[in-house]
Structure 1
Amino acid sequence: MDRRFPSSRKLIGRSFAAFLAIFFLAYIIWFPIGYMLAALSSLFRHHSKLTSVLDPGVDQDCNIKQTDIYLSPLQPTPLQFCDTRASLLESLSNGLRHGFDEPYFGKGTSSLCIPTDEICMVLERFHGIIFIGDDISRAIYLAFNMLLREDLVYGALKGPDILSDQDRNNCRCDNQFLDECSSFGISSSEDLEMIVRSGSGCSYYSCHRIPHAYIPVDTFPASPSSIAAFKDLTYQKPNPWQPSPVVFSFGHASSFDIEMSTSALDEWLALALAAERNIPVLFLSPPAIGTPESNTVVWQFHQRMSTVAKLKHVDVLGLYNLTLQATSMNEGRNFGGRVALAEAMMIINWLSKLETS
């Protein structure tokens, strides 16, 4: 009998076992590496798309860099990105800058840099988006439109064609956020649609299918016109479960008065409840304002109103840390495009985490 056959069979079995061992080892090594590479690829894809907003010409005009709006983690992994709304707001509210006007880092987990086409996908999940309140909400709404129009020079304005030469020079870039230029500012998606239909310059606009608006509110009780505008945007809409998110600020309007701000918040929550629709609310805790004495008042307001809002099941985004080491205008009441664009991207991240059913 040939005794070599059993030996050959053993050799084949050992070779097969060795092959399986090598395959398994390669799998457990490559799988996490491949996962991390996919995450990095996604991150870099976001950065490359952001250059459509911040191309070199715009950067030279307005001196705004990509890192002013968004800075990725130093060593990005999938676990470093916020996976819940609560962790996102915690990260964005409690981040820090490593020096004056340096990029802002979220605490712990990180948010995403969302390019324009994906911003539209986020917004189209809703009936509409409404910014309500004082100049804090107004500045972020203006920056929100700059992102949708991919225009940092005049993107917050109804169009440079309606401005005189002097106003065009005085209301560009950061100056779009000044009170002197407020009459030219966009207040709703209808303004943008009118610009597009008119065929005027700088008429590019994404996200045509979703209405959005800023409703100015700086008094309590709110004016009848502000309430009517809110009802037009939210009441009697089809599909009551599809959200109409509200972004609300009242710190500057109340001069950091806790009682007045609480009353104003209650008023708008009651209006939202009466709509019998799904209206999630985000309360914006105010930015730092300049002097240490003033900032003490702002910080105390932030702490107390954050507690009040959360007890009412309202989400809270704190803007204090973001602005504490940022260049401001108007004695700390305005921070220009860098901060406003970063805040607008934070709002879009919050919108992306909202449930739609």
Structure 2
Amino acid sequence: MSSSVPLLSDMRRSSSFVVTNRQLRRVLLRPAGSILVAVLVVLVLILAVTSGNDVSTSPPLSPSQQQELILQQQIARESSSHAASAAGHEFVGIAYPGMAGAPVPRGESRQSDTADTFARFANKHACAVSSLEVHRPFEPLCDTKSELLAAMSGGGRIGMDAPYMPRGCDMRWYDRDEVCGIISRFDRVLFVGDSMMRHAVGALHVLMREDLGFGAVTQWNFRVDEKQACFCDGQFDTLRCAVQGIFNSDDVAKFDLSSLKCDARTINVQNHVVTTYPPAAAELENLAQSLAAAAASSSGSDGAAGSGKPVALVYSQGHHNDLDVQATAGWLTSIERTISEALPRHVGRAQLFVTPGSAGPNMIDQDAIKHGTKALQLFEHGMVDLLAARSDIDVLGTWNATVQTTLQDGKHLDLRGNLLKIMMILNWLDRAEPAPSILAASGFKPLVPPAAKIDIKPEQPAAQLSSPPSRSPLVAASARAAAASGGGGPAQAEAKSPVTPSVADATSSDYAAPPQRD
């Protein structure tokens, strides 16, 4: 082989041609060789692009941009599959029926919806929870509060613990700053009810403390064993960690202020345990004291100007009275009477009743009938009917949203489920329209549920249905009230209004105080 550099034609003709290092340097140093190399580089780039290889030199995507790209790709796949379906209403992937082609939210106003807002939370990796695994965002957002409540109550998921989607229009998934801003609009946000409300308060503090592992509990006074038992999902274990749950934001500000990411001076979140009907006098007294403080703070006292902020009240009740709509009507009546007596009518208020969630396979057998799927659905429908005529109390159904979710004991949600529930409540708070009370302490009218629709069979005389069964908690409560006032027995007790016992009707024996820490 000649020592001179071969021609290009010779390179093409010889399949066994090998270029030595010296020869290659000579080619590269010549202008013609440089042009040849440039042409080869361009050809390689074109081949790479056409084969789908990414040779971009742009900077790496941020985590939020990566999440948005994943969402876009997922929706593109679902949209393609959805277009191929004949009817266009099949379940596709994790999308809700008819929503597979919904566009990905865009713009700064929904930036937190398309990003994992838990990315910087403490114990993020240990708890392995992403906000995008809890809620799947799409367009459009719901326009009005009524549309929002209907969409959240009617939404669902496809597959066990799959991301939740409202029906027809979307809700927001707020970041920490937005959550703090919503709560600070109110003089205080009071969660009144049973363990479902305590868990909602805990989930709210997970967001306000940015801690997935211990945000819902008082980890500052944990024993060694509690650090493991009450971690991540364990925070919502009603057997081992109920006492360690956070009941109000003031405790966090007092004992672990550095963990609270909201300004403690602008938020006031409280959980008031009022579980059964009739409510215990001590429970109502605690609620009345908080409302009186809210009245002084909002209206001002001793010449000082008040905040003028409204009060938000979120209710949940049912399981402790075996999902009896009539009993819950009496429970709400007692709560509203307490409010009307303690809170001046001019103080704005927003009220929401949250129904219990679905039942799971871990529910104990003796509760499966009284607290199972049928009873829960009838209760939710009954509460919607009960409050349909009230413009000042909204209803949020959670049965659909909690189907196919992890229920640790068949009733209570895990970390993901409670984060979804509190985010739904925050969406309502963001749209709430606080107004002065439409009720007055004098001439107070109790809530009365619609008449039950019962099909009477021919072999079942109507007389047998003229009075509720003796085991009804309402009849038992009225009978106790009649006996205390010297009444003449069950007949007179049943003649009284079953949903309007006074606060004095509740005795201390009805109240089971939560256990106290040593």
- TM norm structure 2: 0.56
Larger relative contact order (C-alpha < 8 A, sep ≥ 6)? 1
Which of 218, 226, 229 lines up with 2:275 in the alignment? 218
1:155 is aligned to 215
Check 1:310–1:272 CA distance in 2 against 1; reply closer, same or farther (3 A cut). farther
**Once the two structures are superposed, what CA deviation does each residue of 1:4-37 show, in whole Å capped at 9, x if it has no partner?**
xxxxxxxxxxxxxxxxxxxxxxxxxxxxxxxxx9
**Once the two structures are superposed, what CA deviation does each residue of 1:110-158 show, in whole Å capped at 9, x if it has no partner?**
1111111111111121110000101111111110111110111000111
Aligned residue runs from structure 1 range 152-231, under 5 A: 152-159=212-219, 161-179=220-238, 180-197=240-257, 203-208=259-264, 209-231=266-288
2:378 is aligned to 300
Give the CA deviation at 1:205.
3.3
> Amino acid of the residue matched to residue 394 of structure 2?
D
Tell me, yes or no, if structure 1 residue 42 matches structure 2 residue 108: yes
Check 1:321–1:228 CA distance in 2 against 1; reply closer, same or farther (3 A cut). same
Partners of 1:251 and 1:344 in 2: CA distance: 19
Tell me, yes or no, if structure 1 residue 281 matches structure 2 residue 347: no
Tell me, yes or no, if structure 1 residue 234 matches structure 2 residue 291: yes
1:353 is aligned to 431
Partners of 2:279 and 2:194 in 1: CA distance: 11
Tell me, yes or no, if structure 1 residue 325 matches structure 2 residue 404: yes
Which of 276, 279, 290 lines up with 2:360 in the alignment? 290
> Amino acid of the residue matched to residue 400 of structure 2?
N
**Contact 2:104 2:137 (C-alpha < 8 Å) held by counterparts:** no
1:64 is aligned to 129
2:166 is aligned to 106
Aligned length: 309
**Once the two structures are superposed, what CA deviation does each residue of 1:161-209 show, in whole Å capped at 9, x if it has no partner?**
4212211011101111112111111111111111235x6xxx2431411
Decide which structure has greater helix share: 1
Q: Which runs of 5+ in 2 are unaligned?
A: 1-102, 300-307, 362-367, 436-518
Give the CA deviation at 1:334.
1.2
**Contact 1:272 1:279 (C-alpha < 8 Å) held by counterparts:** no
Partners of 1:149 and 1:92 in 2: CA distance: 25
Partners of 2:318 and 2:255 in 1: CA distance: 32
Partners of 2:190 and 2:121 in 1: CA distance: 32
> Amino acid of the residue matched to residue 330 of structure 2?
S
> Amino acid of the residue matched to residue 142 of structure 2?
C
Partners of 1:190 and 1:338 in 2: CA distance: 25
Check 1:97–1:303 CA distance in 2 against 1; reply closer, same or farther (3 A cut). same
Partners of 2:116 and 2:207 in 1: CA distance: 10
Partners of 2:356 and 2:156 in 1: CA distance: 16
SS at match of 1:130: strand
**Contact 2:155 2:167 (C-alpha < 8 Å) held by counterparts:** yes
Give the CA deviation at 1:238.
4.5
Partners of 1:204 and 1:341 in 2: CA distance: 17
Partners of 1:120 and 1:44 in 2: CA distance: 17
Partners of 1:297 and 1:287 in 2: CA distance: 11
Q: Which runs of 5+ in 1 are unaligned?
A: 1-36
Check 1:148–1:56 CA distance in 2 against 1; reply closer, same or farther (3 A cut). closer
Check 1:94–1:38 CA distance in 2 against 1; reply closer, same or farther (3 A cut). closer
**Once the two structures are superposed, what CA deviation does each residue of 1:323-346 show, in whole Å capped at 9, x if it has no partner?**
11112111x111210000000111
> Amino acid of the residue matched to residue 112 of structure 1?
R
1:21 is aligned to none
1:266 is aligned to 333
**Contact 1:69 1:345 (C-alpha < 8 Å) held by counterparts:** no
Tell me, yes or no, if structure 1 residue 95 matches structure 2 residue 151: no
1:26 is aligned to none
**Contact 1:242 1:356 (C-alpha < 8 Å) held by counterparts:** no
Q: Name whichever of 105-114 and 252-261 sits farther off.
A: 252-261
Check 1:303–1:38 CA distance in 2 against 1; reply closer, same or farther (3 A cut). closer
Check 1:88–1:351 CA distance in 2 against 1; reply closer, same or farther (3 A cut). same
Check 1:56–1:264 CA distance in 2 against 1; reply closer, same or farther (3 A cut). closer
Partners of 1:323 and 1:48 in 2: CA distance: 22
How many percent of aligned residue pairs carry the same amino acid? Answer: 25
Tell me, yes or no, if structure 1 residue 132 matches structure 2 residue 210: no
Give the CA deviation at 1:49.
6.7
Check 1:244–1:191 CA distance in 2 against 1; reply closer, same or farther (3 A cut). same
Check 1:170–1:234 CA distance in 2 against 1; reply closer, same or farther (3 A cut). same
> Amino acid of the residue matched to residue 112 of structure 2?
H
Partners of 2:104 and 2:116 in 1: CA distance: 19
2:179 is aligned to 119
Check 1:289–1:207 CA distance in 2 against 1; reply closer, same or farther (3 A cut). farther
Partners of 2:260 and 2:313 in 1: CA distance: 25
Partners of 1:263 and 1:49 in 2: CA distance: 43
> Amino acid of the residue matched to residue 177 of structure 1?
F
Which of 330, 337, 341 lines up with 2:415 in the alignment? 337
